[in-house]
């Protein structure tokens, strides 16, 4: 009924407010245009939560960094996460649903072993010579090691590594500028992987271990992520709690703080 049509966003708001979960959009076709407004025929599925709540261990497969469950829980890609559901229904192929032994039970998988000869690779030496090095100095300017200078007024400068033009008040004496993202990306990847795989219970010792790695510079925005990651790692190791999600959140929030 055209007269009773509802905007899509309000349809799903209504379903959520009525207690439906696992709402899944299946089909969406253009229906007709009335006075300039386009109407669509939408097919969806939705499930009502049962009285008994069940726990499931799942792994989100991707392609996005994370998804949010109906209860607001963040499920990160590649990380085993426990979710609570009152619906006795297997998840779709976006997730691996695990049994008690960690085996996937909702998708049929085949194990294939294949060895082959790697294809020949032709390297153009002239192009390699033109590529800027990604090696970074751990002190002062990451590009050349020169002293940093702090300007009274911000200027627009192109990042040496990614080329983005941004406002900054910090350049080296050779006028090199490195944006916060390029300054910290290698270090943040290392911090994340290291914290998720250690069992250290001493914050200072763990901090020094990470700080000694060549990807972590002496100064920079990396420390906005490093400090909370170290605290949460040691807390998890001491308490026995799984703090992986908290560590991810801390690193992500920390890298949004500039300077």
pLDDT tens-digit map of 184-216 = 667 788 788 889 888 999 999 999 988 887 677
| 210 three-state secondary structure | helix
pLDDT bucket at 121, cuts 50 / 70 / 90: very low
Same-domain check for residues 162 and 192: no
Same-domain check for residues 65 and 33: no
pLDDT at 181: 67
| 249 three-state secondary structure | helix
6 compared with 67, residue with greater pLDDT: 67
Residue 65 lies in a domain: yes
CB-based burial label for 163 (10 Å; 0-12, 13-18, 19+): exposed
**234: pLDDT strictly greater than 90:** yes
pLDDT at 118: 46
Query: What's the CA dihedral at 131, 136, 137, 142 to 10 degrees?
Result: 80
Residue 225 lies in a domain: yes
Same-domain check for residues 44 and 66: no
State the total domains in the chain.
4
- DSSP state, residue 110: -
State the pairing for strand pair 165-172/148-158.
antiparallel
Same-domain check for residues 60 and 30: no
Question: Among 182-191, 210-219, 241-250, which range has the highest average pLDDT?
Answer: 241-250
- Residues spanned by the domain of 206: 181-254
Condensed to tens digits (0 to 9), the pLDDT of residues 45-66 reads 888 876 666 788 889 988 888 8
Same-domain check for residues 26 and 60: no
pLDDT bucket at 117, cuts 50 / 70 / 90: very low
Residue 118 lies in a domain: no
Whole-angstrom Cα distance, residue 222 to residue 227?
9
pLDDT bucket at 130, cuts 50 / 70 / 90: very low
**Angle, vertex CA 81, rays to CA 207 and CA 18, nearest 5:** 130
Residue 119 lies in a domain: no
What's the whole-model pTM score? 0.37
Residue 79 lies in a domain: yes
* Nearest residue to 95 via CA among 109, 80, 115, 73: 80
Residue 120 lies in a domain: no
- DSSP state, residue 124: -
Same-domain check for residues 193 and 212: yes
Same-domain check for residues 186 and 239: yes
Same-domain check for residues 57 and 99: yes
Same-domain check for residues 242 and 199: yes
Residue 202 lies in a domain: yes
pLDDT at 184: 64
Last residue of a domain, one of 163, 178, 193: 178
């Amino acid at each position: 009924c055209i007269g009773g049509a509802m905007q899509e966003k309000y349809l799903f708001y209504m379903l959520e407010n009525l207690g439906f979960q696992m709402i899944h959009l299946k089909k969406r076709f253009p229906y007709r245009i009335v006075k300039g407004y386009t109407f669509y025929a939408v097919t969806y599925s939705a499930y009502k939560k049962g009285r008994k709540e069940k726990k499931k261990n799942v792994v989100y497969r991707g392609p996005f960094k994370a998804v949010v469950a109906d209860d607001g829980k963040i499920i990160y890609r590649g990380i085993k996460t426990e979710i609570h559901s009152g619906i006795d229904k297997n998840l779709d192929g976006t997730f691996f649903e695990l049994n008690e032994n960690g085996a996937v039970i909702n998708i049929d998988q085949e194990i294939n072993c294949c060895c082959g000869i790697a294809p020949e690779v032709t390297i153009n030496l002239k192009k390699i010579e033109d590529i800027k090095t990604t090696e970074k100095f751990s002190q002062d300017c990451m590009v050349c090691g020169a002293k940093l200078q702090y300007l009274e007024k911000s200027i627009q400068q192109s990042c040496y590594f990614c080329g983005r033009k941004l406002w900054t008040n910090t350049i080296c004496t050779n006028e090199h500028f490195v944006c916060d993202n390029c300054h910290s990306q290698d270090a943040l990847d290392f911090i994340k992987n290291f914290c998720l795989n250690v069992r250290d219970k001493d914050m200072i010792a763990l901090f020094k271990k990470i700080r000694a790695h060549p990807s972590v510079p002496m100064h920079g925005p990396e420390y906005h992520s490093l400090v909370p990651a170290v605290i949460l790692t040691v807390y998890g190791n001491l308490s026995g709690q799984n703090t992986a999600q908290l560590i991810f959140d801390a690193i992500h929030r920390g890298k949004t703080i500039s300077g």
